Structure 1
Amino acid sequence: MPEPKTSRRRRRLKAALATIVVVAIAFSVTGYRLFTVDHSDRLRHVDAIVVLGGDHDGREFYGLNLARQGYASTVLISDPYHPRNDSDTEVMTAACSTRITGVTVRCFIPDPETTRGEAMYVKTLATQYHWRSLMVISWRYHLVRARYVFGQCFSGELVMRAVPRTYSTLPPVVAFTYAYQFAGLAKAAVLGC
């Protein structure tokens, strides 16, 4: 006897819902392991500190303070904020005009204005100055992707450091951040350096 249409629909609906739940759980668990867990490396001396663009969450001055403590004699600060608002101008002017004895502070506009553009710019300088090690500073959710992108462009040692700050735990914010970082990883895999 043939199965009633409503019973078949119900089974398909249950299968679809189960698939959605499994995908959501896999997305959440993988996102948590890759982006929420801090993947910072131990602090150590490097040839240059690279501060990636992003929120003005203290990253610029964290990088400068690490140089002040002797972790590097060069600090590169990405400045992808164009057009700038007053807050961007204030932070970047203060960071880029910082003077530290024995430390070169250099701000740059990446092209393209992405992590890949930052890595390509740094690759050029690393070749020019024979750098063998870099410390890359960004926010915690970005470290895995930044390591992947910089690893495509730079063959030396990478030390990744998350900005010491608090992070939103609101589920919609976290879900968006995970999706953005997954998409960025896929894009990096396709584009390379």
Structure 2
Amino acid sequence: MLTHMIRKWRNRIPIAAAVALIGFLGLTARYFVWPSLPVVPPHIDAIVELAGPGDDDRDRLATELAREHRAEYLVQSTLQSDADSGRCLPAEPGVTVLCFHPDPDTTRGEAEAIGRMARQYGWHSVVIVTTADHAWRARLRVTRCFPGQVYVATSHLPPLYWFRQIPYQWAASGKAVLVQKNC
């Protein structure tokens, strides 16, 4: 009888592992590869580029949105030295360009800074510019600190970054959902 039970479980373990792997891959695809995001409207109050991997493409996308006159403000999260020196995204006619360095230097710090700037400048809607792997968590963090509409525009993430970013995003998202539940 014991031998029969062991065989029965031995046959079920690979099936359970396959189901768990498929579930993990499905959730990874849904939240970090192809996140479901609201469509960015033609006009929002601010375009906010978050820091992180793929900065060049984030810069390109944020600047492109500003050139389309989607917002009155173009904001970039940057290094402290860049924020202090005023080195930021290039000026766009009719668009106010701002730089900030978050404290703490994390997505949570960026969300807190967005909330403060929104109160200061009277924003009711923002579009966050980041990569697809970061989009879900960034939107979650910002909605906790900013009561207005939050949209996300995703830029390209270089292929080699995916291997590092997926495990990182799982860990950081777990922390955001289970541990750091407020702004």
Instruction: Kindly state the Cα deviation for residue 67 of structure 1 after the two structures are TM-superposed.
Output: 1.2
Q: Which runs of 4+ in 1 moved over 6 A?
A: none
Instruction: Kindly state the Cα deviation for residue 63 of structure 1 after the two structures are TM-superposed.
Output: 0.7
Matching residue within 122, 125, 128 for 1:133: 125
Q: How many residues align?
A: 177
TM-score by length of structure 1 reads 0.78
User: Which secondary structure does the structure 2 equivalent of 1:96 belong to?
Assistant: coil
Q: Which residue matches 2:143?
A: 151
Instruction: Kindly state the Cα deviation for residue 10 of structure 1 after the two structures are TM-superposed.
Output: 4.5
* RMSD of equivalent CA atoms: 2.7
Q: Take 1:39 and 1:141, find their aligned partners in 2: how far apart are those partners? A: 12
Matching residue within 37, 46, 49 for 1:48: 46
Larger radius of gyration: 1
User: Which secondary structure does the structure 2 equivalent of 1:45 belong to?
Assistant: coil
Where does structure 2 lack aligned partners over 5 or more consecutive residues?
Answer: none
Letter in 2 for 1:187: K
Q: Which residue matches 1:98?
A: 90
Q: Take 2:35 and 2:158, find their aligned partners in 1: how far apart are those partners? A: 11
Change (3 A) 1:94 1:58: farther
Contact 2:139 2:150 in 1 (8 A): yes
Q: Take 2:93 and 2:23, find their aligned partners in 1: how far apart are those partners? A: 49
Q: Take 1:143 and 1:135, find their aligned partners in 2: how far apart are those partners? A: 11
TM-score by length of structure 2 reads 0.82
**2:179 matches 1:181:** no
Q: Take 1:112 and 1:183, find their aligned partners in 2: how far apart are those partners? A: 18
Matching residue within 27, 32, 36 for 2:29: 32
Change (3 A) 1:22 1:94: farther
Identity %: 32
Q: Which residue matches 2:61?
A: 62
Q: Take 2:26 and 2:116, find their aligned partners in 1: how far apart are those partners? A: 37
